[in-house]
């Protein structure tokens, strides 16, 4: 038997080496379906194996089947970062292995979660007095917010724009809520006239506005949506899963204007705040509404404390990971200035990429690009652009994804990894141009 110390040293050495060489690995895994599984024993071992055997298979079998989200040329979906302080904090979290369901079951976990969320609130310039807690994903945060809205207004519908994230559809399906989608304008923002019209015809429990839509990062007109919600007393949930983090920089705060009137707001530090997945912050002005919807205390969970927060009362899950530790570590080890510098650089390089596309014959921009995500396409048919994307991704040099805008197939480059530099983005652009020239 090797000792825990030796295994831990070997694992941490593996992590350090991985981070050093990740940019030399193909971004998108090239394995065929079933290949990884076919290389591993189908049944569990009878006798204990050393941890070194796990590390060996990680290197030889698992790694080729990994698509490297921590690669500086990962530009698909929304690019994310497992930053070094976040990686280390995940190790510490697993070592402590506390369940933060009640204050009593680990007071520090609850109190650090409340503190870290208040730090995020301050970093984003959000109003004082918001209650914040962590869920695993924006999908769960939105589900929780809409459950609270339903509890407050049973039978009411939900309204969002056609560009809202599919997690709104899923939450409505799970909660048995009717969902109405209103069309977006030419810049992919929720259309206020259509919203006003629908609110006049349908009793609404909630409206979901998006700050940074998934396809184009468009920003719905939240102040005007908030005014319409106030007239109808409908719950306003703002989904800022990606773009909310941009508000650590004052020049991007415009995107969150109006959220002071929102009933709830979701921002994912695991998207653009350098925190390893999973970590989603749900803020609300109405913590009592979340408690009304979710608090359910069986005898075995009753404790004698009063005036403490039991975070199990604010969302669907009872058992809760100590996610605040990594968020707190990431914020401390970057500082406000460090977070701002990364976000500013991502936005700068994305704007530079957009300028290259705009001035290159045969290419066009397909949407406004207020943050670090650019929608664009090469001249020609959808099928040609789809084939181009596949060729680019198959090179392993860069990984991009796509969306559909106004019925057209569009390529999408999203910058969000802390290791991404201008050199990486230029490299991706060269691969795009080279592959387009071959069509």
Ligand X SMILES: *Cc1c(COP(=O)(O)O)cnc(C)c1O
Residues that bind ligand X (CB under 6 A): 78, 137-139, 165, 167, 210, 212, 214, 239, 241-242, 268, 280
Minimum CB distance to ligand X smaller for 220 or for 435: 220
Minimum CB distance to ligand X smaller for 102 or for 168: 168
CA nearest to 82, candidates 276, 271, 242: 276
For residue 127, the Cα-to-chain-centroid distance in whole angstroms is 22
* CB-based contact 98:105 (threshold 8 Å): yes
Cβ 217 to ligand X shortest distance, Å:
8
Strand order in the sheet with 264-267: 131-135, 280-284, 264-267, 235-239, 204-210, 157-161, 179-182
Residue 16 CB coordination number (10 Å): 12
Q: How far apart are the C-alpha atoms of 207 and 177, rounded to whole Å?
A: 12
Phi, psi of 375, deg, nearest 5: -100, 130
Minimum CB distance to ligand X smaller for 105 or for 217: 217
Cβ 168 to ligand X shortest distance, Å:
8
Cβ 173 to ligand X shortest distance, Å:
15
Minimum CB distance to ligand X smaller for 26 or for 370: 370
Q: How far apart are the C-alpha atoms of 270 and 330, rounded to whole Å?
A: 11
Cβ 60 to ligand X shortest distance, Å:
30
Minimum CB distance to ligand X smaller for 242 or for 429: 242
Cβ 236 to ligand X shortest distance, Å:
15
* CB-based contact 89:330 (threshold 8 Å): yes
CA–CA distance from 195 to each of 149, 158, 228, 429 (Å)? Answer: 18, 11, 8, 39
* CB-based contact 331:119 (threshold 8 Å): yes
Cβ 167 to ligand X shortest distance, Å:
5
Cβ 268 to ligand X shortest distance, Å:
5
Cβ 190 to ligand X shortest distance, Å:
13
Minimum CB distance to ligand X smaller for 137 or for 395: 137
Minimum CB distance to ligand X smaller for 265 or for 432: 265
Minimum CB distance to ligand X smaller for 93 or for 373: 373
Minimum CB distance to ligand X smaller for 14 or for 77: 77
Minimum CB distance to ligand X smaller for 220 or for 397: 220
Cβ 356 to ligand X shortest distance, Å:
25
Minimum CB distance to ligand X smaller for 242 or for 399: 242
Cβ 240 to ligand X shortest distance, Å:
7
Q: How many CA atoms lie within 13 A of 212 on its CB side?
A: 28
CA nearest to 329, candidates 86, 112, 166: 86
Cβ 138 to ligand X shortest distance, Å:
3
């Amino acid at each position: 038997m090797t000792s825990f110390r030796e295994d831990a040293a070997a694992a941490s050495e593996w992590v350090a080496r991985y981070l050093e060489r990740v940019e030399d690995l193909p971004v998108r895994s090239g394995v065929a379906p079933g290949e990884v599984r076919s290389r591993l024993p189908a049944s569990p071992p009878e006798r204990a194996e050393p941890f070194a055997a796990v590390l060996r298979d990680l290197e030889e079998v698992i790694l080729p089947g990994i698509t490297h989200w921590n690669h500086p040329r990962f530009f698909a979906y929304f690019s994310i970062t497992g930053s070094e302080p976040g990686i280390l904090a995940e190790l510490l979290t697993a070592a402590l292995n506390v369940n933060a369901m009640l204050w009593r079951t680990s007071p520090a976990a609850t109190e650090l979660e409340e503190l870290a969320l208040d730090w995020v609130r301050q970093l984003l310039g959000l109003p004082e007095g918001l209650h914040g807690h962590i869920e695993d994903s924006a999908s769960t945060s939105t589900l929780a917010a809409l459950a609270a809205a339903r509890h407050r207004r049973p039978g009411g519908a939900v309204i969002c724009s056609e560009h809202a994230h599919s997690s709104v559809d899923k939450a409505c399906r799970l909660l048995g809520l009717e969902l109405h989608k209103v069309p977006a304008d030419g810049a992919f923002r929720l259309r206020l006239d259509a919203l006003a019209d629908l609110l006049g015809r349908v009793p609404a429990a909630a409206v979901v506005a998006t700050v940074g839509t998934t396809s184009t990062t468009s920003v719905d007109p939240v102040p005007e949506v908030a005014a319409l919600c106030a007239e109808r007393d409908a719950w306003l949930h703002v989904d800022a899963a990606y773009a909310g983090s941009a508000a650590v920089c004052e020049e991007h705060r415009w995107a969150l204007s109006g959220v002071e009137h929102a009933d709830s707001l979701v921002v994912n530090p695991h998207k653009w705040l350098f925190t390893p997945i999973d970590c989603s912050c749900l803020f609300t002005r109405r913590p009592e509404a979340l408690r009304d919807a979710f608090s359910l205390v069986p005898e075995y969970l009753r404790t004698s404390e009063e005036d403490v927060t039991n975070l199990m009362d604010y969302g669907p899950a009872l058992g809760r990971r100590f996610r605040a530790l990594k968020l707190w570590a990431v914020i401390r080890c970057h500082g406000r200035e460090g977070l701002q510098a990364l976000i500013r650089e991502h936005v700068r390089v994305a704007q530079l990429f957009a300028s290259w596309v705009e001035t290159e014959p045969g290419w066009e921009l397909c949407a406004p690009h207020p943050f670090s995500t650019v929608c664009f396409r090469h001249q020609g048919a959808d099928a040609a652009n789809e084939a181009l994307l596949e060729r680019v991704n198959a090179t392993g040099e860069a990984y991009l994804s796509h969306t559909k805008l106004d019925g057209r197939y569009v390529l999408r480059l999203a910058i969000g990894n802390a290791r991404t530099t201008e050199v990486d983005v230029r490299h991706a652009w060269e691969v795009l141009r080279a592959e387009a020239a071959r069509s």
